[in-house]
């Protein structure tokens, strides 16, 4: 009569709504202006990074302040693939994922020697080291950076078809392609994380988050779990980095390894939206975008507002905006929690 289930009614409705949204998203470039596509590209890539950071910190308990290392290495590997090996940029993005994977192995090996809070600064140091090393790479412009050659940007896989399909210029076609890829990436990453959390791995992660020692004693290999989560997040972050810099077509160590752009914003998205939920980063990225639009002309006030907002959320609503909504309404759009269902228990003691 009783069984463990993850399903909720809202969860089933979400599946249909998400499928519809993806279809609309794919068709959008036919009607939306180029600036809207660029904004959406920003939202989707930030959401991808936020979901990945949330996987690390919110589910894995690994608070990394060094994810910009994987954005940067992914971007640089993509540039290396195009400029040095003559690959098509879309293919070179995959190379970015591979490079992030290779970097993540020594990175995690060193960072995992530091416990808890020190892990956070350790990742920061490692990201700095990566940036300083890449800045020594003279063929890719050293400290000043470089651009993708014109012949590469105009011949990106699929842009010809897009140009013909929508009747747009080169640059706009590249934006549309980047947007589609970002859409694919965010769906794959979010879907992948959702699947991960509902699998045995998710159960193990929840056990580790609640109590490392106890999880270890019931047979969860906490060390391997941390490695798995870290490597998965690194690869996908590297892919995102490659994609972002394919769209901008210009790279420098300071931009590709920017703490503010690739880690600070991402942390604020997750914290403000609600850490440890799939819905949280979605809300968070919308808040970030709204604030960016409202405060675009006020420079540093934008970041100050985000910082203060994040502090206030941690103090007064640690589960973020989604936590507030969820507590009010009991809504779980992406249920990952196992609940016991069955006939209602009457009476008792």
Partner 1 sequence: MIWLDTLVQGVLLGGLYALFAAGLSLVFGIMRLVNLAHGDLIVFAAYLILVGVTMLGLSPLVALIVAAPVMFGVGWLLQSLVLNRVLGKDILPPLLVTFGLSVTLQNGLLETFSADSRRIPAGTLEGASIDLGLVTVGVMPLLTFLSAVAVIVGLNALFYRTALGRAFRATSDDAVVAGLMGIEPKRVFAVATGLAMAVVTVAALYLGMRANFDPSIGPARLIYAFEAVIIGGLGSLWGTLAGGVIIGVAQTVGAAINPEWQILAGHIAFLVVLLVKPRGLFPRAVD
List the beta strands (DSSP E) in 132-210.
Answer: 146-147
Binding of partner 1 by 264 (CB under 8 A): yes
* Shortest Å distance, C-beta 58 to partner 1: 8
Enclosing H/E stretch for 340: strand 339-341
* Shortest Å distance, C-beta 57 to partner 1: 7
Query: Alpha carbon of 264 to those of 39, 46, 318, 327: distances in Å?
Result: 19, 11, 18, 27
Query: Alpha carbon of 34 to those of 22, 86, 214, 245: distances in Å?
Result: 19, 28, 53, 18
Contact between residue 81 and residue 218 where contact means Cβ atoms under 8 Å apart: no
* Shortest Å distance, C-beta 290 to partner 1: 18
Binding of partner 1 by 275 (CB under 8 A): yes
| C-alpha atoms less than 13 angstroms from C-alpha of 245 in its C-beta half-sphere | 39
Enumerate residues 6+ apart whose C-beta is below 8 A from 165: none
- The binding track of 279-318 with respect to partner 1, each residue x by CB under 8 A or -, is --------------------xxx-xx-xxx-xx--xx--x
Q: Which is nearer to partner 1, 84 or 110 (CB)?
A: 110
Q: Which residues in 126-185 contact partner 1 (CB under 8 A)?
A: 126, 128-129, 132-133, 135-136
Q: Which residues in 57-116 contact partner 1 (CB under 8 A)?
A: 57, 61, 63, 65, 110, 113-114, 116
Contact between residue 331 and residue 14 where contact means Cβ atoms under 8 Å apart: no
Binding of partner 1 by 223 (CB under 8 A): no
Check residue 106 and give left, alpha or beta (phi > 0: left; psi -120 to 50: alpha): alpha
- Chosen residue from 92, 271, 288, 291 binding partner 1 by CB under 8 A: 271
Binding of partner 1 by 39 (CB under 8 A): no
How far apart, in whole angstroms, are the C-alpha atoms of residue 75 and residue 81?
A: 10
**What are the residues binding partner 1 (CB under 8 A)?**
57, 61, 63, 65, 110, 113-114, 116-118, 120-122, 124-126, 128-129, 132-133, 135-136, 259-260, 264, 267-268, 271, 275, 299-301, 303-304, 306-308, 310-311, 314-315, 318
């Amino acid at each position: 009569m009783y069984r463990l289930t993850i399903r909720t009614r809202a969860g089933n409705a979400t599946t249909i709504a998400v499928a519809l949204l993806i279809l609309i998203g794919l068709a959008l470039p036919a009607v939306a202006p180029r600036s809207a596509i660029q904004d959406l590209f920003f939202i989707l890539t930030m959401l991808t990074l936020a979901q990945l950071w949330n996987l690390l910190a919110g589910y894995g308990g690994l608070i990394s302040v060094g994810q910009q290392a994987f954005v940067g290495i992914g971007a640089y590997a993509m540039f290396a693939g195009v400029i040095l090996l003559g690959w098509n940029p879309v293919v070179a993005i995959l190379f970015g994922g591979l490079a992030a994977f290779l970097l993540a192995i020594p990175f995690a090996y060193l960072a995992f020697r530091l416990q808890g809070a020190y892990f956070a600064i350790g990742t920061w140091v490692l990201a700095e080291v990566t940036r300083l090393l890449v800045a020594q790479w003279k063929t890719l412009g050293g400290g000043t950076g470089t651009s993708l050659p014109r012949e590469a940007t105009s011949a990106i896989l699929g842009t010809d078809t897009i140009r013909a399909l929508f009747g747009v210029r080169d640059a706009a076609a590249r934006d549309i392609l980047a947007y589609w890829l970002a859409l694919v990436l965010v769906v794959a990453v979010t879907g992948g994380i959702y699947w991960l959390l509902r699998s045995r791995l998710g159960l193990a992660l929840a056990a580790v988050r609640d109590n490392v020692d106890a999880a270890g004693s019931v047979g969860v290999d906490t060390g391997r779990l941390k490695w798995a989560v870290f490597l998965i997040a690194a690869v996908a972050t590297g892919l995102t980095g490659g994609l972002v810099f394919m769209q901008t077509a210009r790279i420098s160590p300071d931009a590709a390894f920017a703490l503010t752009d690739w880690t600070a914003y991402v942390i604020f998205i997750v914290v403000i939206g609600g850490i440890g939920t799939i819905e949280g980063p979605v809300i968070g990225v919308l808040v970030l975008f709204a604030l960016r639009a409202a405060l675009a002309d006020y420079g540093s006030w934008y970041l100050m507002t985000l910082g203060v907002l994040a502090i206030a959320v941690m103090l007064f609503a640690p589960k973020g905006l989604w936590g507030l909504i969820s507590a009010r309404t009991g809504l779980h759009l992406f249920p990952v929690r196992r609940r016991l269902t069955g006939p209602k228990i009457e009476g008792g003691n």
